[in-house]
Amino acid sequence: MIVSLIVAMDERGGIGYHGALPWRLSADLKRFKELTLGHHLIVGRKTFESIGRPLPGRQMIVITRNPGYQAEGVTITHSIEAALRMARNRGETEAFVGGGAEVYSETVDLADRIYLTQVHAKVDSDAYFPELDMGCWRLEHSSEHEADTKNQYPVTFTTLARNHIVDRDGKETNHEHHKDMS
C-alpha cells in the first residue's frame, strides 16, 4: 500500500490558522477531492472537526488519543499504525494522510508520496508542516495555477516520490529504512 501525504502549505510551511485553512483555493480543493475520492483518508481529530463532517466517497479514519471519542460516519483509531493497518487490511492501494500538523509529523517518515500544493504567499499560520529533507524526495510532477476569482493565491501543484534505493540484498527500500540497516 502506498502511503501518501496530501497538504497545502505557504512559503513558510504554514498549513492552518485557528483550526482552519488560511486561504481560499478552489483549485486545491478540487485536486484534493480528485486524488482522495475512493480511498482511505486519515486525519487527526482536530482536522476532522474543522472539516465538520465525513467527506463523501472516502473512508475516513480519525486518529485521537481520547478513548471515548465518537463521530458518526468515520472509523476512530488511536494511532497512525492502527490507521494504516486498518486501511491495508481493507485492501487499500493508496492511503491518504490529510493532517493536521501532528499527524503529518508522525507520518512524514512513513510516506511514499507527497501531493503538495505550494501556496505562493506568506499567511498567518499557527500549524506547520514538518521540514522535509529534500534529498529523500524526487519531483514526479509539477504544474502552476494562477490566482483568480476562486483562488486567492497562485499555487504550484507538486507530486514528490520518496527516493528508493537498493539494499545489500538487492531489495528496493526507502531511505528511512536504509538508514536503520547499518
Provide the grid cell at 107: 507520518
Q: Give the whole-angstrom CA distance, residue 127 versus residue 15.
A: 6
Q: How far apart are the first and last CA of the chain?
A: 26
The residue written with cell numbers 460516519 in the block is 73
Give, for 145, the enclosing helix (H) or strand (E).
strand 137-145
Predicted TM-score (pTM) of this structure: 0.90
Structural domains of the chain sorted by starting position, each given as residue range(s) with its CATH number in brackets: 2-179 (3.40.430.10)
**Greater model confidence, 164 or 3:** 3
Q: Give 11's contacts (C-beta < 8 A, 6+ positions apart).
A: 118, 119, 120, 121, 122
Q: Give 97's contacts (C-beta < 8 A, 6+ positions apart).
A: 3, 4, 5, 6, 42, 43, 103, 104, 107, 111
The fraction of the chain above a pLDDT of 90, given in percent, is 89
The confidence band for 164, taking pLDDT boundaries of 50, 70 and 90, is confident
Provide the grid cell at 48: 476532522
Q: Give the whole-angstrom CA distance, residue 15 versus residue 43.
A: 14
Query: How many CB atoms neighbour CB 129 within 10 A?
Result: 24
**Greater model confidence, 180 or 45:** 45
The confidence band for 10, taking pLDDT boundaries of 50, 70 and 90, is very high
pLDDT attached to residue 172: 55
Judge whether residue 66 has pLDDT over 70.
yes
Judge whether residue 142 has pLDDT over 80.
yes
The confidence band for 181, taking pLDDT boundaries of 50, 70 and 90, is very low
Phi/psi for 132 (5° steps) reads -95, 140
Average pLDDT, the chain: 92
Q: What is the pLDDT of residues 18-32, one digit of tens each?
A: 999 999 999 999 999
Q: What is the pLDDT of residues 84-112, one digit of tens each?
A: 999 999 999 999 999 999 999 999 999 99
Contact 24, 151 (CB under 8 A): yes
Judge whether residue 128 has pLDDT over 60.
yes
